[in-house]
Every structure is written in C-alpha cells, then in structure tokens.
Structure 1
Amino acid sequence: MKAMLAEAEPDDRDLLALAREGDRAAFARLVARHYDFIYRVAWRWCGRKADAEDIAQEVCVRLGKAIRGFRGEGRFTTWLYQLTLNAARDHGRKLSRESAKTQAYAVHALVDAATGPEPEDAADRLWEAVRQLPPKQCEAVLLVYGEGLSHDAASDVMGCAEATVSWHIHEAKKRLKTLMSEARED
C-alpha cells in the first residue's frame, strides 16, 4: 500500500488506514489536508482567531489519540465535525471556568462581543449574532449555512433527527431577525 501512495495522491480512506496503523507521515498529511476545515469551523463557533487556533490544535491532538477508534462507518468529515464541535464546546467551558463566570458560553461570547471592537462588515455582525444563539441553534446554523451541509448531513453531525435540525434553523432565523434589528437600532 505504501508503494501505491508514493505514485498517486492518496484519498482520506488510504491515509486513515495508514494513520490507524501508526504511520505518522500519513497522519500528518491527513491533518494538513483538513486543518483549514477544522480552523474554519472553530472560528465560526467562537469568532476569535486565538481561540480558533487553540481549538484547532486541540482537535489535532484529539485526532491523534482517537484515530485508531475511527471505524470508517460514516464519513471522516462528519466525525471531524463532531471532534471540532466537541473541542469548541470544551474550550468554551474552559473559558467560562477561567473567567469565573457561572453563565453559559453563549453569554460569555455576548459579553466579549459587546466589549470588543466593532465588526467591520455585515457578515461579521451576522456571525456575532449567530454566536449569541443557544448552542444547538448556533451549531445548526454553522453547519447548514457556514459549512453548506444539508439538514440531513447536519443531523448526522449533531446526532439528532433531520426535523430537529430544521426546527433549530427555523428558531434561529426568528431569533436572528430580532438580534439584527436590535443591533441596527443601537
């Protein structure tokens, strides 16, 4: 199999098989191939470059520890979404503990957004508002609109029914209209 990899660019399945066997070069290629994806999801979740970098690094560490457990029953990117969102949630809890806040991460992000610099454009303002949504609504919007997943694919990542994702999106849209109109009034 290694001779085959030298001839052509391996796909994720080949790299995964080698990485599960302990091939560090294959693991490094897999991480390099998906790092931008991991960072992008992390940034959309938290909205801060330094935190997104920390989350992405944590995902890479977790990936190294968990790669042997990936059985290939689902798509690798679905599993990677789950790892990234779990790391983002853990990071949010860690930030909350460190800052001695008793409120949820979404409220912590609200405080940061209110005291931070003004966003430069409408997309930044919209993602700031998305980060103020309840966690499941935020995840659904991130996956469907930020990452372009179908409701069905997002339901796989979130571990819920497709109808539940649709409901979270519906509720998020209502809430975002309110948040965005309040922001324009300020």
Structure 2
Amino acid sequence: MRVDLDATAQTSELIKRAINGDGGAFAIILEGHYDLIYRTAYKWCGNRTDAEDVAQDVCVKLATAIRSFDGRSAFTSWLYRVTLNAVRDMQRARARHGRRADALALVSPEDAPAEQEDVTTAGELWAAVRGLPDQQRDAVLLVYAEDMSHREAGEILGCKEATVSWHIHEAKKTLRGLL
C-alpha cells in the first residue's frame, strides 16, 4: 500500500528532519514514496530491471538531494522530477556507451495477462510513447499513465499547462503516424 505522506501534516516535519540528517525520518520518507519512485521509473523505462536500477539510484541520490528540496512545490512533484532525471541519466549513459536503452521493451512475461493480443497492442502503444521526444513522452506518461491534470504535469515538467497540452497534441499526431 502506498503511503501518501503529502497528505499528512507530518510530511514537512519529516522532510526538515531528513534534511538535517535524521536517518529515521529519511527512512520513513523513502518507505512512503518508494512505490511512487518505482512505478514512475517503470512507466518510463518499460521493464522491471531498469525500473529497479533507477529506483535504487534515486534512493541513493535522495540522501543528498533532499537538501535541495525547498518546499516551493509538493514533495511528490519534486520527487517525480528527481526520478525522471535519473531515468534520463541512465538513458544518456547507455547511449554514450553505444548500447540502445531497453526503454522500448514490451511487457515482461511475468506481467503478461492471458489476453495476449491486448497485451501486444498495449505494449506496442507504450513502446511507441517511450520513443517520442522527451517532452512529449513525459507529458503523455504523466497525464495518461499517472492520471495527472495538465496543470500538475506542468508543475513537474517545469512548464505551463498550455505547453503540456501542446506536447500531448503533438504526441498524438506523431503516434497516429506511427500506429
């Protein structure tokens, strides 16, 4: 079960304590947000192995990165950004080493339900989404996979709501051409 720490009054206190080096508070924050980190990484990467690698990397980075959280946005919005940056870092590192990222992988066998045709269609669609330019892909995944409003997605992506709408519009045009 995902703990929604942003909904509690204790969140800001836990964050303050974690920023000041309280390992217990940091552990509570990680426990409450690990599912969000992993789920976000999985949607961007498309497979469990890469999502686990990214989630672990984010958890390690958070130990120092939490000091940069200034409270101007919701903690989960900031955490989405940290996770997206970790995904992009992984993808850039793979590109530098001449390997294609596994971000276009289809659903892994342990995730496959009985309706193989539906899985193939959904897998092809999400693979196509993952192949979009970064801003279009991120807007589509936040709005459709994370069920966020355009405003919420804009907050995470650091752009206006109208810009998110434009990225989604462009993504739909591109996807129509690909599919």
TM-score range, shorter chain: 0.7 to 0.9
- Indicate the RMSD between aligned Cα atoms, in angstroms: 2.2
Give the aligned partner of residue 58 of structure 1. 57
| TM-score, normalised via structure 1 length | 0.79
Deviations 1:49-93 (A, max 9, x none): 111111111111111111122121210011001100000000001
In the alignment, residue 130 of structure 1 is paired with which amino acid? Answer: V
Deviations 1:77-127 (A, max 9, x none): 1100110000000000111122x25xxx7xx557x549x98x840332221
- 2:47·2:102 contact (CA, 8 Å) conserved in 1? no
In the alignment, residue 177 of structure 2 is paired with which amino acid? Answer: T
Give the aligned partner of residue 4 of structure 1. none
- Residue 149 of structure 1 aligns to a residue whose secondary structure is coil
- 1:137·1:171 contact (CA, 8 Å) conserved in 2? yes
Q: Which runs of 5+ in 2 are unaligned?
A: 1-7
- 2:46·2:105 contact (CA, 8 Å) conserved in 1? no
Alignment of 1:10-159 (within 5 A): 11-98=10-97, 100=98, 108-109=101-102, 113=105, 120=116, 121=119, 122-159=121-158
Distance 1:90 1:75 in 2: 23
- Residue 74 of structure 1 aligns to a residue whose secondary structure is coil
- 1:109·1:132 contact (CA, 8 Å) conserved in 2? no
Percent identical across equivalent pairs?
A: 51
Q: Which runs of 5+ in 1 are unaligned?
A: 1-8, 181-186
Rg bigger for which structure? Answer: 1
- 2:139·2:153 contact (CA, 8 Å) conserved in 1? yes
- Residue 82 of structure 1 aligns to a residue whose secondary structure is helix
Distance 1:41 1:97 in 2: 23
Residue 10 of structure 1, CA deviation: 6.6
Distance 2:30 2:105 in 1: 31
Report the CA distance shift for 1:91/1:39 in structure 2 as closer, same or farther (over 3 A): same
Q: Count residues with an aligned counterpart.
A: 163
